[in-house]
Structure 1
């Protein structure tokens, strides 16, 4: 299909469409509508979609990125929480690409467990910034058909997702994303391509599915160890995991059995090491896992 600007939504069309629908972007839903065709096509190009590939989009809003995905020949299923926007987006796509393969699901993405049609192999989305990490991790968990993900998130969050052990920003989102994928930051997006312009910078993160660590510990148990290890980042693992194992002495025994120095901090460990620690935990204590500064990645 020819790359004509009229195929996508521009700034004036975004405002006009929002006005006709009575939509005012809300911080509660993390709504910042992308209106720049060049940025849309950049995202689609980086995603590397194949014609006919089944793609899931979370939070399509007024449909800017959706139209770019459809234009590229993807088969798109969009998850939209706002009933007004969900009702409009199918009409927007139909008007510009009448022969497209497109479906919309009215739901909170956190509640979606199945999707219509073929299993999606790619997730491409401008995620609502206030729930970006939980949505990302939930989609990776529930849809193991996803081979790769390209999401636009707050730049700071993008860096944390792609962070490596030993860095100051390495934490819960980094480790949990690494359970499912290898991640890297692949681009920066300016504020002026959104309406309204956000107060933060945005970035693209590309994640490729990989096999989870080979371990006898279930994912939930590994993630509980991760949450606890980062609840108080400045503590050594011996101290941080004392409550989970019953005492500092028990935590030290478990850590040594896992081949981990009890005196190091969680920010130095790769996900495979957290898995080995979780293998030493026979039964999870009946208590709530501590909430850390990295709580946005707690799922």
Structure 2
């Protein structure tokens, strides 16, 4: 369901942003309220005329309304039906808001962008769904210009980790293969109501152009990365048993006795790309 709220009059300068709502624990809700952090997020997004902004999980509108004040138009995706009416009503004073009442994992971003500019995604993502949302966005990366997400700091550290790091893993490889990942700044628990038990961070993801990604078969690449990190302590030869043999690993310029966390993203791309040509069974 999509609801559209049109602007009426602009609020007075310095007017309060957002509205009050009870956070629902089962939805992983933590509402951002710290004005300084909100301003830094809006500055990082820096919306320009013609941009197609889409916010995931607007909550009480802490980021929504400042973005509307700056840009005038915004689409938001909100699952909690209790937030729809107050969000729509409060938005009238800020700009034109389209509310999509759906689970974000069921939203077709490619269809949403069709016929217009690539999407710019923004959101304070629920921590219990952050990885599924990130992978869902990757499936539609060709329709997305960039993403600015607030996530658990531990997740952002994994997203941006380099080979050899203890937190370098499947998430690191999959995201870095398709996007440039840039951590921007940390956010303390006190910036939210209720405060989470962990630190948060804001990260920027910019999808790479198809020719710069260089992955011949995305499904095969996903299989290789998943298998490699499925048993982190094993060597590539053992972890990829049934997916790739030692000869194939060496043909990709990798050591069969290396472990997945030692392999750079380009190495996984090379390995996945030679597999069809060597007729390796799935």
TM-score, normalised relative to structure 1: 0.82
Matched, 1:110 2:105: yes
**1:161-206 deviations in Å (ceiling 9; x for gaps):** 1111121111111111112211121101111111111111000111
Aligned pair in 2 of structure 1 residues 165, 243: CA closer, same or farther (>3 Å)? same
Name which of 157, 162, 165 aligns with 1:164.
162
Counterpart in the other structure of 1:6: 15
Distance in 1 between the 2:259 and 2:13 partners? 53
Name which of 261, 266, 277 aligns with 2:271.
277
Displacement of 1:29 after TM fit?
1.5
TM-score, normalised relative to structure 2: 0.87
**1:261-288 deviations in Å (ceiling 9; x for gaps):** 1111111222222122223154663xxx
Name which of 125, 128, 135 aligns with 2:126.
128
Counterpart in the other structure of 2:261: 267
Counterpart in the other structure of 2:66: 68
> Structure 2, unaligned stretches of length 5 or more?
1-9
Q: How does 1:1-299 map to 2 (within 5 A)?
A: 4-9=13-18, 14=19, 17-18=20-21, 24-73=22-71, 75-94=73-92, 96-97=93-94, 100-113=95-108, 114-115=111-112, 118-212=116-210, 213-216=213-216, 218-245=217-244, 251-279=245-273, 280=275, 282=279, 285=282
Distance in 2 between the 1:47 and 1:187 partners? 13
Runs of 4+ in 1 over 6 A off after TM superposition: none
Aligned pair in 2 of structure 1 residues 111, 30: CA closer, same or farther (>3 Å)? same
Displacement of 1:79 after TM fit?
0.8
Aligned pair in 2 of structure 1 residues 176, 167: CA closer, same or farther (>3 Å)? same
Residue pair 2:180, 2:208 contacting (<8 A) in 1 also: yes
Displacement of 1:136 after TM fit?
1.8
SS for the counterpart of 2:27 is coil
User: More displaced, 115-124 or 251-260?
Assistant: 115-124
Aligned residues: 265
C-alpha RMSD of matched pairs (Å)? 2.1
SS for the counterpart of 2:25 is coil
> Structure 1, unaligned stretches of length 5 or more?
19-23, 246-250, 286-299
Distance in 2 between the 1:143 and 1:174 partners? 16
